[in-house]
Amino acid sequence: MNEPGVSEPGVSEPGVNEPADGAAVVLIGAPGAGKTRTGKRLARLLHVPFIDTDKRIVERHGTIAEIFAEHGESHFRSIERDVVAEALVERAVVTLGGGAVLDPRTQADLAQYPVVQLTVSAEAVEARISSGKRPLLADGIGAWQALVDARQPIYDRLSSFAIDTSSQPLDRVAQQIAHWLERQQS
């Protein structure tokens, strides 16, 4: 029986959770689910580097909002695809931007790695996304819910484990992911 807030939505194939090289684990989920903050904590627990693909994009190309405004979403997604592919070959905790999973090549790549989906309720995320730094969420929680509804089937299909971050400390979320990874390797 799973703990509250924890589920295993996908069925992984033998060996999928034990990549010889590449990401130790990949975190996916809706914007505001806590992927970056959880990823940093998890990387410390696993003693591996942490890679936030959105941060890498910003470091190399400018803010995501600027890329969207100046070049459009398709240009951003192309950059994102390249950064994600590069990050996946590193032995690290890798967090993907919420829409990175839309790319079919990224979806295929993720089949090689343990993928954890972080979920969050609309009520919990509303305060988290109020900063205005997320271009696809300029219309607030309604836009967020539409994104989640559209992407949820993809998140569910790609992930082998899901955990809700709405009401539990992210340190606990990271510990639960680490325990799940340990069970997958035994």
Binding-site residue numbers for substrate are 54, 77, 98, 151
**29 and 35 in contact (C-beta within 8 Å)?**
yes
Binding residues for Mg(2+): 36
Binding residues for ATP: 32-37, 134, 168
How is 139-164 classified by DSSP, letter by letter? TTHHHHHHHHHHHHHHHHHH-SEEEE
Q: What residues does 52 pair with on adjacent strands?
A: 95
114 secondary structure, DSSP code: -
Binding residues: 32-37, 54, 77, 98, 134, 151, 168
Shortest CA distance to 173 belongs to which of 129, 117, 127? 117
**61 and 79 in contact (C-beta within 8 Å)?**
yes
